[in-house]
């Protein structure tokens, strides 16, 4: 590419006014003629950057590769022409001044090229006119660019305003004096089951929705136009054309006076459906809310007891297992120890029921099919259901999957079935059924409108003695039972309620004295197929290790248990009763600490915070938290912890989890 740079003014000549650098694309085959054009431009006061082309390909290449302020073209070249250069400019959709300079152009040709789009033509015999022509065209080009920018900005503002109006959930509309829509947003159009374009120019009478209701009130709008005062209608019901559901709005209408004196009405409707439903729900749910508060209070008490009891059970169960290993299975005392272990297992199951009923149990949900759980339960129930009770199973083979803890759903079915059996001492029918349904699920919340969703319905019904309304209202309360002393803990149905609620479902009961009881459970449907249940870790020979483990636990007996178990499997154990001692111990320890085994909640600090403090000096350290209930597990999740060992645990479970975490 050949560049023609401007030269300094001739010595002694007056310096022209300088206009700055002008980037010129010159279509010219004659070098001397090109020099004449450039000299005329310099004399006019322009600093030049110029590129000369002679063919269409060269012109297109130059227009594509660089930006230019001006295109000057000879009218006719051996291989090219001004008309061809003009076509190249249009191909690139460029709006830059295009000036024809020619020594042979006639008047007819000049008119033709100007009509084709050239901005001006100058004869080579009158190049003094070239500078002023360029100045004029550059100014016009700048004005055209400014107008384009202004039009683009105006369009962007209009598009933004349209977007703001259409994305606003409120009803926004403008009507003229005849009641015709001159503006409507998407919310209004969807209410009528139309598009925004269909709304314009029509009245509400011509597009009446069900019942003849309308977003605006004609009489109210007429009064606004007459008085010039805005008005508010607090409660207006409109039937949605799409869903045929009644929706409620508070509508404000404001008079508009346009510049030409035209009167229009601006309307804004704010939906109050949710507020009305909330108010209705508040009135209808006061008793239910009080019942929920009572159950929450009892549940908190039960959870606190279970938490402390789990720590005690951890010590008893752990040391019992160690004692059995030490004395051997053949020793006389081993039988007594096994009885202690069995009692601990029963206590652990009871504690699990307490935690579940108080919503503090750690659930491990999986995608599963309830029919599979029913098939497992059926085999067990047929051994405990008397022959005078007809046992019916009716499952839907196309049942949707749910996300729940399979073991807990198993317990739910067992509890409901055993309760049904006890309600039929003289025989009857026990029926378990499943099916797909649509229902509201989750615990009812005061003032929140519920939305139905796809669910799995599980019903357990009996033809037994039934219950009174007073008993039905209390059956899910922890420790409430109608059975005699020694025949029930009152935790079974409370556990059932807790599991279903934690699984995002809902349970209801219908009962009548002498006519039986039906429990209906709705669990939200889950996407995806069923997943495998996790296997219980098994302690193998490779569970032994020589790594260093820092144990942080406030309870001395639990620390002692952990030390004995871990050292017995070859691990090097550092013990600390609290966070300060753990930090000091880690600082003094010269070798790496491979695992932090800590209770999640410490007296002055949390386990996750301790792990963060130690991470700076022990970057390779793994972490395993111990937890007695799910509120502590949530604490770990909130701070990034993921590995949990639940209390109470057996030595086998402890070693398996330790090895699992260290091996990751």
What tokens does 265 get?
């009405």
Question: What local confidence, expressed as pLDDT, does residue 604 receive?
Answer: 65
In the chain the first and final C-alpha atoms are separated, in Å, by: 64
What tokens does 339 get?
């009885």
Rg (CA), the chain: 43
Query: 21-144 with 541-663: one CATH topology?
Result: yes
pLDDT tens per residue, range 34-55: 999 999 999 888 889 999 999 9
Q: How many whole angstroms separate alpha carbon 378 and alpha carbon 383? A: 9
- Which of these ranges, 1-5, 112-116, 276-280, has the smallest mean pLDDT? 1-5
Is the CATH code 1.10.287.130 the one for domain 283-355? yes
In total, the chain counts a number of residues equal to: 664
Spatial contact of 607 and 583, defined as CB atoms under 8 Å apart: no
Q: How many whole angstroms separate alpha carbon 267 and alpha carbon 179? A: 12
**pTM above 0.85?**
no
606: pLDDT strictly greater than 50? yes
Architecture of domain 21-144: 3-Layer(aba) Sandwich (3.40)
* The CATH homologous superfamily of the domain defined by 541-663: Response regulator (3.40.50.2300)
What tokens does 555 get?
């309870």
- Read off the pLDDT band of 407 (50, 70, 90): confident
594-624 CB burial, b ≥16 within 10 A, e <16? bbbbbbbbbeebbbbebbeebeeebeebbbb
Domain 366-524: top CATH class: alpha beta
Architecture of domain 168-271: 2-Layer Sandwich (3.30)
Q: How many whole angstroms separate alpha carbon 392 and alpha carbon 429? A: 7
- Which of these ranges, 32-36, 182-186, 536-540, has the smallest mean pLDDT? 536-540
Q: Which long-range contacts (CB under 8 A, 24 or more apart) does 470-479 make?
A: 471/511, 472/509, 472/511, 473/291, 475/509, 476/295, 476/507, 477/294, 477/295, 477/298, 478/295, 478/298, 478/299, 478/302, 478/354, 478/357, 478/358, 479/298, 479/302
**Shortest CA distance to 546 belongs to which of 521, 568, 527, 517?**
568
Question: What local confidence, expressed as pLDDT, does residue 538 receive?
Answer: 46
For the chain, the domains span 21-144, 168-271, 283-355, 366-524, 541-663
Mode of pairing for the β-strands spanning 366-368 and 402-404: antiparallel
pLDDT tens per residue, range 484-525: 555 555 566 877 887 888 888 988 899 999 999 999 999 999
Question: What local confidence, expressed as pLDDT, does residue 286 receive?
Answer: 63
């Amino acid at each position: 590419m050949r560049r023609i740079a401007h030269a300094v003014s001739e010595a002694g000549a007056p310096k022209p006014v300088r206009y700055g650098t002008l980037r010129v694309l010159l279509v010219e085959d004659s070098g001397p003629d090109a020099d004449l054009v450039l000299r005329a431009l310099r004399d006019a006061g322009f600093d030049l950057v110029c590129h000369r082309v002679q063919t269409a390909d060269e012109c297109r290449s130059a227009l594509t590769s660089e930006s230019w302020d001006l295109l000057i073209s000879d009218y006719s070249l051996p291989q090219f022409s001004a008309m061809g250069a003009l076509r190249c400019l249009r191909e690139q959709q460029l709006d830059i001044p295009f000036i024809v300079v020619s020594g042979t152009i006639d008047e007819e040709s000049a008119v033709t090229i100007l009509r084709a789009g050239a901005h001006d033509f100058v004869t080579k015999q009158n190049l003094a006119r070239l500078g002023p022509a360029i100045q004029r065209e550059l100014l016009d080009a700048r004005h055209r660019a400014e107008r384009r920018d202004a039009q683009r900005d105006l369009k962007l503002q209009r598009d933004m305003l349209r977007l703001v109006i259409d994305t606003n959930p409120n009803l926004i509309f403008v009507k003229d004096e005849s009641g015709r829509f001159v503006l409507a947003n998407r919310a209004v159009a969807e209410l009528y089951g139309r598009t925004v374009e269909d709304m314009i120019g029509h009245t509400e009478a011509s597009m009446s929705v069900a019942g003849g209701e309308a977003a605006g009130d004609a009489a109210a709008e007429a009064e606004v136009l007459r008085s010039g005062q805005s008005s508010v209608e607090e409660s207006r019901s409109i039937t949605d054309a799409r869903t045929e559901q009644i929706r409620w709005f508070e509508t404000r209408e404001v008079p508009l006076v346009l510049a030409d004196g035209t009167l229009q009405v601006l309307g804004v409707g704010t939906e109050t459906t949710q507020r009305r439903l909330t108010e209705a729900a508040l009135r209808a749910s006061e008793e239910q809310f009080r019942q929920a508060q009572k159950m929450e209070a009892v549940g908190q008490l039960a959870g606190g007891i279970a938490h402390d009891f789990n720590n005690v059970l951890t010590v008893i169960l752990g040391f019992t297992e160690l004692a059995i290993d030490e004395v051997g299975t053949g020793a006389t005392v081993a039988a007594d120890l096994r009885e202690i272990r069995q009692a601990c297992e029963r206590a652990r199951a009871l504690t699990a029921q307490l935690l579940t009923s108080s919503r503090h149990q750690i659930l491990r949900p999986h995608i599963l099919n309830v029919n599979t759980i029913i098939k497992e339960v059926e085999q067990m129930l047929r051994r405990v259901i008397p022959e005078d009770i007809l046992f019916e199973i009716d499952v839907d083979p196309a049942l949707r999957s749910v996300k729940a803890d399979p073991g807990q759903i198993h317990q739910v079915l067992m509890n409901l079935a055993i309760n049904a059996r006890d309600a039929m001492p003289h025989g009857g029918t026990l029926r378990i059924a499943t099916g797909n349904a649509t229902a509201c699920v989750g615990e009812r919340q005061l003032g929140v409108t519920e939305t139905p969703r796809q669910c799995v319905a599980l019903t357990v019904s009996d033809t037994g003695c039934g219950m009174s309304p007073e008993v039905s209202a209390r059956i899910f309360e922890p420790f409430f039972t109608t059975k005699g002393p020694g025949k029930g803990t009152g935790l079974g149905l409370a556990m059932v309620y807790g599991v279903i609620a934690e699984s995002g479902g809902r349970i209801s009961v219908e009962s009548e004295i002498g006519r039986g009881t039906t429990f209906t459970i709705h669990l939200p449907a889950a996407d995806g197929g069923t997943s495998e249940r996790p296997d219980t870790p098994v302690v193998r020979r490779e569970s032994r290790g020589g790594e260093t483990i820092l144990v942080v636990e406030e309870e001395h007996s639990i620390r002692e248990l952990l030390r004995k178990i871990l050292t017995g499997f070859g691990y090097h154990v550092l013990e600390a009763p609290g966070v300060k001692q753990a930090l000091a111990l880690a600082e003094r320890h010269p070798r790496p600490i491979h695992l932090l085994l800590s209770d999640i909640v410490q007296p002055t600090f949390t386990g996750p915070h301790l792990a963060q403090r130690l991470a700076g000096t022990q970057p390779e350290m793994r972490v395993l938290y111990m937890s007695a209930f799910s509120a502590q597990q949530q604490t770990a999740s909130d701070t990034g912890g993921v590995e949990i060992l639940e209390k109470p645990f057996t030595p086998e479970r402890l070693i398996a989890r330790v090895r699992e975490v260290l091996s990751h």
